Amino acid sequence: MATNVACTGFLDADRPRVNPGLVTEYKRSYQQMFAALAALDELALDPTPDQLRVTHTRLRITRASHESRLVFQKIMSILSESSGSTLARKVELLVQMHVELREASRRHVSTWTRAQTKADWAGYCRSSAELRRRWRQMMDRERQLLHPLLANSVHAGPHETHYTPR
């Protein structure tokens, strides 16, 4: 049986163990969310909204958000089981950001109905820009914390060697 060894020479039994498929799923959901936000950025530049495109883009963001949240929750469950107190605090802050952003998104969607969006496009764009800024801020914090952890915690199976250069 092979031993999982980090570049430092220490056994990495205390490191979180994340399936490579989950990491791929996380990266895909992250890219989809960025692409959906960028699509809304582009739409917000148009002084007269195409309601069909607005509806489609909002749905795209909702789906990307839902998928990224599910993957995030899977990863958080792995990290919370195997992380030290410093990492656990950072993870808890990310979880709290997700909860707050999900609630802000829910309020935004319920306030900005299709009719309201059409009636006050400029107001919608301002409100949406703030929400997109918050999404990107949260995703940036995720990137800073999770991407290095995920890069260093992928394993293919219990009997394979995992060597992660640092």
Q: Residue 94: what pLDDT?
A: 86
The CA-atom distances, in angstroms, between 152 and each of 14, 20, 86 are 12, 11, 17
Which of the four pLDDT bands, split at 50, 70 and 90, describes residue 166? very low
Q: Residue 82: what pLDDT?
A: 64
Q: Domain 5-164 falls in which CATH fold? A: Four Helix Bundle (Hemerythrin (Met), subunit A) (1.20.120)
Q: Residue 16: what pLDDT?
A: 59
pLDDT tens string 42-96: 999 999 889 999 999 999 999 999 999 999 888 888 777 765 667 777 778 888 9
pLDDT(117) > 60: yes
pTM reported for the whole predicted model: 0.76
Instruction: Compute the C-alpha angle 57/36/25, nearest 5°.
Output: 130
- Largest Cα–Cα separation, the chain: 66
Residues 6+ apart with CB under 8 A from 134: 101, 104
pLDDT tens string 75-90: 888 777 765 667 777 7
Mean pLDDT of the chain: 80
Which of the four pLDDT bands, split at 50, 70 and 90, describes residue 10? very low
